[in-house]
Every structure is written in structure tokens, then in C-alpha cells.
Amino acid sequence: MMSFCASEVPQWNTISVSGYHIREAGANAHEELAFTLADGFAYVEAAMRAGMPVDQFAPRLSFFFDSHLDFFEEIAKFRAARRIWARWMRDRYAAGDERSWKLRFHTQTAGVSLTAQQPDNNVVRTAIEALAAVLGGTQSLHTNALDEVYALPTERAAEIALRTQQVIAEETGVADVIDPLGGSWFVEAMTDAMEDRVERLLAEIDRMGSGSMLDGVLRGIEDGWFQNALADSAYAFEKALGSGERTIVGVTKYAAADEDHLDILRIGSDVETIQRRRIAEVRGRRDGAAVAAALEELASAAASGANLMPLLVAAARVRATEGEMTAAMKAVFGGYREPPRV
């Protein structure tokens, strides 16, 4: 995909390297950053191993982070992320184009921080998380809605989430300054500490791969190393809640016996019926023989190690479904099975 996009759609952000799901699964801040950057470096090494010059693809990589509630820790995390990425791209991967050194990232506020109890408090949580992301230098932002712990957001909840961003952007002035907390002794010290912890984790992953981040990441996945780390951190968080070391307002403290009813979005089963009908109509109109041929060619290419992107595009153009294309590749590559926790 990176090779295809570099030549065919060079202005496209090829891969969004995501840490959001890592944090939502239980990682702490420095694990989220270390594991996400490790994934990014693994992509870099995979492309270079395939023969692509680093500056051909690195400027189009982007990242996707979580913004949680520990305000200054999150700002430090974002600041440390840019430092580490720039240093590694320059020093380890010999990137000469300054665009390759720049870590561009999107941020989404923490879904896992939202509570079903006293959901109006989620507006405050989201605002604090969004402000941390802006002060940390995010290029784009998604603010979660107050009712997402229950369902997809209602129109009103989505509008409040949007207005939260707009108040920060239009009324506070924080977006007018680059790195507004740079030079603060506290923030600089936290950034240094975050960077040090992340570098130590990266070094451990690098050792697992005998000096290759790509091999280290793959081994960490296959051995369950990442999964174990997330489970341990999630358990530590729950223990801190149980002991009272950490507080969730409205849940572990300041709980209310009676809470107001919250109207949530309810989607009827007719949506599935309509979508099934639409897919059936597409399948009825398309050229079945052309679809079968495209899927067979895709599977053959998967077995040979050829670049699959042109064949995926060709299959989509004859209206093969995503599920059909996935099934064709799965028949060759097999399916992922999470290893048991050690």
C-alpha cells in the first residue's frame, strides 16, 4: 500500500499509525506512546526492507493518539512524541527530508474515560482532554459525545462535542501559539521523564527484534508481550480505583442515588434490512464472472507475494465487496488468533 500510494496518490496520508485502541485497551500514557511509535518505526523498516527510500514515504505517515484526563501528562506525551520521532527518523533511519522528521497526529478524547453515571460530567472530561491535545500540538481533533458510553451520539450530544472544540478554537486563544507550555519547568521535566520511559520501552522492543523494530514488534505480538503489558496496566488502574488511590467523579466519589434520564439514540433493525437489500441489489447488477476472476487473481497474487493494491482496486471496481476481498486473502494468509496470556 505504501509503495502504491507513493506513486499513485502521493498527497494521500498512507497510514494512520494508531495508538488510540492501545490506550483504550488499558495502556498507560508512556505505553501508548512507546507502542504506537514502535508500530510507526516497524512500518518504516518494512518499507525500507522492501526497497523504498525513507523520504519517499515517511512524509505521508501520520499518527492517531488518545487524550486522557491527566492533563499535564498528556501534554508531555504529545511533546515527547514529536521529539522521539524526529530523532529516530534523523539518526536511525537517515531521513534527509525535514518532512520525514515531523510527527503529524490526530487526537481523539478518551472514550474509556466517559462514565454512564452522571453523564453530563463527560462534557467536562472531554473539554479537559481536548485542551490537553491542543496544548500538546495536535493537528486535528475529535471530541467524544457525552452519551457515547450508551450508544452512538444523539444530534444534541454531537453538537455539544462540536461546540467544545469550537469554544477552544475560537474563544480561548490557545490555538494561536505553537507549543505554548514550552519552557515551563514542570512541563519540560514531565516531557523529559516521558521521553525517558518511552525510550526504555522502545529499547526493550528493539532487543526482542535483535536490533530490528519490525521484528521486535512482530515478536511482541506473536508472543503476547504487548497484550500482557496492556492487561497488567489495566489491572493496576482498577486496583487504584478499588483502593481509592484514583477517583472517578460520580462513580467512586460524589455518586448520586437518583440520576436524570438520558435520551439516547436508538437505531432500528430496519437499518440492517435496508443495507442487506442494497448489497443484494449490487450483487444482482454486477458481472459475477468478472468478480470471480478478480478475486481469484487477488488470491493468486497473495500467494505469490505480489503487490495487492492494484488488484484490490480492480476488484472494487467490478463491485467485489470488502468481505469477499478479505475472504480471498484470508484463504491464503489465514486469520489472526490472539495468543494466550502468559
pLDDT at 271: 94
pLDDT at 257: 81
pLDDT at 129 over 70: yes
Share above pLDDT 70 across residues of the chain, in percent, rounded to a whole number = 99
pLDDT (tens digit, 9 = 90+) per residue, 266-320? 999 999 999 999 999 999 999 999 999 999 999 999 999 899 999 999 999 999 9
pLDDT at 93 over 80: yes
pLDDT at 342: 62
pLDDT at 341: 67
pLDDT at 259: 74
| CATH number assigned to the domain covering 2-243 | 3.20.20.240
pLDDT at 58 over 90: yes
pLDDT at 131 over 90: yes
pLDDT at 339 over 80: no
pLDDT level of residue 74 (50, 70, 90 thresholds): very high
pLDDT level of residue 340 (50, 70, 90 thresholds): confident
> Higher pLDDT residue, 10 or 144?
144
Which pTM does this prediction carry? 0.93
165-168, long-range: CB within 8 Å, 24+ apart, which pairs?
A: 165/130, 165/141, 167/127, 168/127, 168/130, 168/131, 168/134
- Asked if 256 and 246 touch (Cβ cutoff 8 Å), the reply is no
pLDDT at 90 over 80: yes
pLDDT at 203: 98
Distance between start and end Cα atoms, the chain: 34
pLDDT level of residue 260 (50, 70, 90 thresholds): confident
Mean pLDDT of the chain: 95
pLDDT (tens digit, 9 = 90+) per residue, 181-202? 999 999 999 999 999 999 999 9
- Asked if 311 and 324 touch (Cβ cutoff 8 Å), the reply is no
pLDDT at 300: 96
